[in-house]
Amino acid sequence: MPGPHSSDTTTQATAPAIGARIARLRKAQGLTLAYLASRIGVSEATMSRIENDLANVSAHNLFTLARELGADMADFFRDDAVAIRPGLRSVCRAGEGVRAHTARYVSEILCADIARKQLHPAINTVTARTLDEVGGLQRHDGEEFVHVLDGVLILHSELYAPARLEAGDSLYFDARMAHAYLSGGPEPARVLVVVGPVEGPMTVTGRIGA
C-alpha cells in the first residue's frame, strides 16, 4: 500500500487535490463523513482534516478508501485516468509519475493514467526511522511486493522479526499482516512497491520469526 524519485519533472499531486477528490467521491456515493471514517479506522475529525487538506492520508488508508468508494488509486491523483481494457498499455517514463505526500512517505504513483488496475506500482522514498514516526504497524487488503532501489529498508511486521533489505533485495508478503517500512541507513530508502489484490489465503512456507 506509498516516496518517490524527487525529480523536478515529476507531476506534483498536492494534498488539496487529494482531499477534494476524496470528498467528491464520498459525496457521490452518498456516504457520511462519520461512516467513511469508521470504515477506514480513523476519527471523524481526522477524516474531516484529510478532506480539508489539513492532514496527510496514509497509503494504507488510501487503499481502503478506494475500496469503500468503489474507486481506483488513480482517481485520487488525476481526473483523466482511463479504465483498463484489453490491449491497453501505459508507458511511464522516468520522472513522469504522479508525486504525492502520504502520512508515511513520499510516493511516486506509476502508470496513474490507467484506472481500475489489479496491480498498483509506486516508488516510495522512506525517511522515517522509528515506528512512532509512522504511527505503528498498519494493514490493508492485498499482497505486496517491495524491491529496494537505494538505501537500506527495515520492514517491520507483526509475525516476523524485522527484515533488513539492501539495494537489490526484494520481499513479497500478505499486506493483511500489519507492517511498516523504515529507513535503516544514513540516507532515505528508495523502494519499488507493487500492491495487488488478494485472491485467497497466502501459503507461507517460511519460518515465522526468521
Residue 33 pLDDT grade (very low, low, confident, very high; cuts 50, 70, 90) = very high
Task: With a cut of 70, say whether residue 68 has pLDDT above it.
Answer: yes
What are the respective helix, strand and coil percentages of the chain, to the nearest 5? 25, 30, 50
Q: Go through 8-32 and write b for each residue having 16 or more CB atoms within 10 A of its CB, e for each that does not.
A: eebbebebebbbebbbebbeeeeee
Residue 189 pLDDT grade (very low, low, confident, very high; cuts 50, 70, 90) = very high
pTM of the model: 0.72
Q: What is the pLDDT of residues 97-116, one digit of tens each?
A: 888 776 667 888 898 888 77
Q: Under a CB-based contact definition with an 8 Å cutoff, are residues 192 and 146 in contact?
A: yes
Q: Where are the domains of the chain?
A: 15-76, 82-196
Q: Which CATH architecture has domain 82-196?
A: Sandwich (2.60)
Note the pLDDT of residue 169: 98
CATH superfamily placement of domain 15-76? lambda repressor-like DNA-binding domains (1.10.260.40)
> What is the 8-class DSSP label of residue 10?
S
Coil, strand or helix: which one is 156? Answer: strand
